[in-house]
Structure 1
Amino acid sequence: MTDPDYLRRVLARVDALDPLASFPGVDALLAAADAVAAAHPDRVRRRRIGRSRLGEPIRAYSVGEGPAVVVIGGVHPNEPIGFHTALRLLSDLAEGAGPAAELPATWHIVPCIDPDGTRLNESWFSDPSDRIAYARGFYRPAPTEQVEWSFPFDYKGIVFDDPMPEAQAVMRLLDETGPALVAGLHNAELGGVYYYLSAGETAAIPALHAIAEHLEIPLDRGEPEFDGVEPLADAVYPALSSRAIVDVLDELGVEPASHVVSGGMADYAGRHDAAMFVAELPYWTHADSADASPTTLAYAEILERRARQLDELDAVLSEALDRAEPHLRIDSQLRRAAVAFVRMMPAMGEEVRGRAAREDPSRLATAAELFSNADHVRMFRLRFGSILARALRAETAAGGAAPQVRTALARLDDHLERWYDEARSVTGLRALPIERLVGVQYGTLLAVAEVSLNARGAEVPA
């Protein structure tokens, strides 16, 4: 397990983080990282590891000596908590300060792996506490354009061999360094913190719980992201790979190819026997997301309700896209993402309905499950409705929108305003202090790195 003295030093460091109220955009983030490198040329090595799809350089910053630990920020461009984590880690290492600098590792830090996608989210970075502003400016790439899920894959008849340039940059970095540990800096949206962790690093689990408790960030006890993935501990799940998801879907009798089309970062890290770690932090929380007490409602009934609501959402979004798509002229990231997510909606409803059919009808849902199932629908309405509206609005702003596009947008906007009002009406929702979220991500990363390095024979100072 994590050395108690080291954990105390980690907690002291995360307690000392300065208050944070916003997230840096791409330019500010990279300027800050470059400034650290320039101030410490004897300790920090900066190099380009690739380019984005639009041609922007992607840089890694390397510090330290020992087994490699690779840290990737901005893996999903709507998840910027890790930008602060990457900068704090880089600064502490460059200055030789704090518990990060004590670890005998060579750290390779990529502050932002998807600058193109991140720029499409920057409108809400100045006030991330506003969930509606977040929704209006939301962008998440189509699944095959997500860095996390754009790695080579060949398993059980599913083959993918066209990784995007950003994923190729990660592949080069992993091939070059042969890391002991790879950490993706992710975050969730609403609820509590949960983790993905390789089985060999389970000794870090007590520290994962302790750091979240210390910083008063609740554990998420609601619905897991993927059905059939058994937790390693409370709010801790096995590191997620496409291979594992395919196996789970096979066991559940679900056709894997309708859900998995490519490899994940964990699949590629596995080629190097690297451990994986992800801390998923929410922007907002609600007391119900951590409430494991039973309700009077059957869990299967809650899932059925969610499936019906997803079907209703599918009908609204598909009607808008079917009307507009033949007349869309701008091939953009927004358009490709909107089309991909809308066309995925039927499978989402079917998957949840299949889960309901497999559940024991007498099993009662917990308060956390009730809340998270309802909020998953709310999240998809806000995310996918908003991203489709942004794509249609881009056509109108360019001055080339056909009447069918304008009609589809007007009808969709009516639904969106109702969904925004419904999201505003949720009582008890509160934004979490950003510095505490960064503290959990930073602190747990150090705790897992300490365990991982110890397991590989590196001498970690007591």
Structure 2
Amino acid sequence: MTARMTDRYPTVTQVTASARRLVSRHPGTCRLRRIGRSRAGRPILMLSVGHGPHHVLVVAGPHPDEPVGGATALVLAEQLARGARLSAATDPTLVTWDIVLCLDPDGAAVSEAGTAEATATPTRTPTLRHYYRTTYRPMAAEQPEWAPIISRQLPESRALFEVIDDLRPFLQCSLHSTDVGGSWLQLTRDLPELAAPFRTSAAELGIPLQHGTYDALYWENPSPAVYVLPPPDSTARLAAGSENIGASTWCAPLRYGGVTAIVEVPMWASDLAEDLTPYPDADDALRDLADLVLDGGRQVTAVLEKARSFLPPPQHDPLRRVVEWMGDGLYDMVANSWAPLARQAAAASADDDPRRLTTAQIAALNIVARRQPIRAAGLLLRLLRASDDRAAPVLYRELDELFTAWCTDTEEALRARWVPVDDQVEHQARTVLAGAESALKSLR
């Protein structure tokens, strides 16, 4: 499906330039328009392909530390513009594809600045150390898809809500990636016919499926690595912090009969993600993982305490806001959310007891436990590196030693292997197309 590319993600500027070239080559088929502006005034652009009465909405760049979506958006747009009719969903007289090129351009700018300013260049095979040292993920209140659930109204969120209300898409696809693990789908309504092509694509590309994920611990799991959101007014099967998920942009198409698919693909694969063998002493493992995230968080926060006096204030610096937010209860929330699972695992008896946790489920929580302090440390290292205070270099070396050891341990513990960008994009694009075909059938 895809043309081979270098093993790098395109920047927002590159994605936008490619979209403009596509419009110039296919002026009767493609249109590019601004649907809103970010908090900093950057344009939020949407590329539309086709003229059909039914709409698929694709959202790239919802999280700036998940850069695969821009590349996937371009691959989808180019294929659709060429008129390759693989199915009814790619018929431009039946379906219009509306592709938001980057939902969070402000966050992308902060993340891309970290990559540009890094002293070390990535090796031929990218490493977690370089990734976490350069990327940026906003606090929840500044994530456009997520902010509405905590009653924060961002201009980026409003722009997406307005597009959904205008287009009434039968399918919204949000393009995400995860740092380490496998691929999975989160759906607001089950699409049974999507499971097989999703599974087949992953197998052909050597990408494991994520059997068990922190994001959807208690959701329905109708097929491997497919998780269906509980009803928006339910709180029975939601992870901590997501109780008001019905207010998110994910759920907005529901009021028009549409469905949302969150398509996750790993940057680094871990085959542990699909190991369904029962995990021995899972309750002890969960307590160890809780200690891991709490201990790591405390160590990062200790460095932050020493640096607070000379770092830029949180209201003026997005990196500082995230590090403060993580230290102000996030580590505890993550660790405490596993207590019910630990009790469940302790009560399990036989291997076929449904309360028994698998190696894949423990691996998913292992990823989260390690990710949180590493992510905070990477952001704090950027702040320390930019400071001219005399204490900054000493604190930088202290934290960098921890950070490097944590990244190395994570790669080894999870047996992480890099997934080429082409394969990440191929799998995500195939899944989106299969999802569109599956969702379209409900309209016929």
Task: Specify the alignment match of 2:267 in structure 1.
Answer: 283
2:365 corresponds, among 373, 378, 382, to 373
Whether contact under 8 Å (1:143, 1:340) holds in the other structure is no
Residue aligning to 2:301? 318
State yes or no: 1:27 paired with 2:10: no
Partner residue in 2 for 1:231: 221
Contact 1:17 1:439 in 2 (8 A): no
Q: State the Cα deviation string for residues 214-250 of structure 1 (Å, max 9, x = none).
A: 3332211244424322312111001478755x4435x
Match of 1:440 in 2: 427
Q: Identify which of 375, 393, 400 aligns with 1:413.
A: 400
Q: How far off is 1:427 after superposition?
A: 7.7
For 1:184, what is the secondary structure of its paired residue? Answer: strand
Q: Secondary structure at the match of 1:232?
A: strand
Which residue of structure 2 lines up, in the alignment, with residue 335 of structure 1? 320
- Cα deviation, residue 142, structure 1: 0.6
1:61 counterpart (39, 44, 47): 47
Whether the 8 Å contact between 1:150 and 1:262 is mirrored in structure 2 is no
Question: Which AA in structure 2 matches 1:390?
Answer: R
Residue 308, structure 1, aligned to residue 308, structure 2:
no
Query: What number of residue pairs does the alignment pair up?
Result: 424
Q: Is contact 2:182-2:269 (8 Å) kept?
A: yes
Given the superposition, is the C-alpha separation of residues 451 and 439 from structure 1 closer, same or farther in structure 2, using an over 3 Å criterion? same
Higher relative contact order (CA 8 A, sep 6+): 1
Q: Residues 202 and 212 from structure 1, CA distance in 2 versus in 1: closer, same or farther, beyond 3 angstroms?
A: same
Please state whether the residue corresponding to 2:223 is helix, strand or coil. Answer: coil
Report Cα offsets for 1:54-92 as digits up to 9, x if no partner. Answer: 111111111211211110100111111111110011112
Shift of 1:454: 1.5
**Structure 2 partner of 1:263:** 247
Q: Residues 89 and 143 from structure 1, CA distance in 2 versus in 1: closer, same or farther, beyond 3 angstroms?
A: same
TM-superposed CA distance for 1:325, in Å, is 3.2
The alpha carbon displacement at 1:389 in A equals 2.4
Deviation, structure 1 residue 39 = 1.5
Contact 1:311–1:345 (CA<8 Å) still a contact in 2?
A: yes
Q: Is the 8 A contact 2:58 2:99 kept in 1?
A: yes
CA distance in structure 2 between the partners assigned to 1:239 and 1:90 by the alignment: 28
Partner of 1:282: helix, strand, or coil?
A: strand
1:78 aligns with 2:65: yes
Q: 1:243 to 1:75 in 2, by over 3 A?
A: farther
Matches within 5 A, 1:58-457: 58-64=44-50, 65-99=52-86, 101-102=90-91, 104-122=94-112, 123-124=114-115, 127=122, 129-151=126-148, 153=149, 160=151, 162-239=152-229, 243-244=233-234, 246-249=235-238, 263-295=247-279, 297-330=280-313, 331-343=316-328, 344-362=330-348, 365-394=357-386, 396=387, 399=388, 401=389, 403=391, 408-423=395-410, 425-426=412-413, 428-457=415-444
Gapped regions of structure 2 (runs ≥ 5): 350-355
CA distance in 2 between partners of 1:413 and 1:262 (Å)? 40
What's the CA shift for 1:426?
A: 4.6
> Which runs of 5 or more structure 1 residues have no equivalent in the other structure?
1-13, 154-158, 458-462
Q: Distance in 1 between matches of 2:431 and 2:48?
A: 20
Distance 1:102 1:392, change over 3 A: same
Deviation per residue, 1:188-230 (Å, 9 max, x gap)? 1112111112325223222222222233322112444243223
Q: What letter matches 2:169 in structure 1?
A: P
Name the CA distance, whole Å, in 2 between partners of 1:19 and 1:30.
Answer: 17
Q: Which moved more, 1:311-320 or 1:60-69?
A: 311-320
Q: Contact 2:189–2:260 at 8 Å: present in 1 too?
A: no
Q: Following TM superposition, by how much is the alpha carbon of 1:135 offset from its aligned partner in structure 2, in angstroms?
A: 1.1
- 1:242 and 1:264 in contact (8 A); partners too: no
Partner of residue 47 from structure 1, selected from 33, 52, 63: 33
Q: Distance in 2 between matches of 1:424 and 1:199?
A: 34
Q: In structure 2, how many angstroms separate the alpha carbons of the residues matched to 1:241 and 1:59?
A: 31
Distance 2:9 2:310 in 1: 36
Q: TM-score, normalised by structure 1?
A: 0.84
Is the 2:61–2:103 contact (alpha carbons within 8 Å) kept by the matching residues of 1? yes
RMSD: 2.7
Whole-Å separation in 1 of the counterparts to 2:67 and 2:181: 17
For residues 253-312 of structure 1, the C-alpha deviation after alignment (integer angstroms, 9 at most, x for no partner) is: x7x68x7699322232333332111211001113322221234x2221111111111221
2:210 match: secondary structure = coil
Task: Tell me how far apart the structure 1 counterparts of residues 135 and 212 of structure 2 sit (CA, whole Å).
Answer: 23
Q: Which amino acid aligns with 2:373?
A: R
One-letter amino acid of the structure 2 residue matched with residue 288 of structure 1: L
What residue in structure 1 maps to residue 353 of structure 2? Answer: none
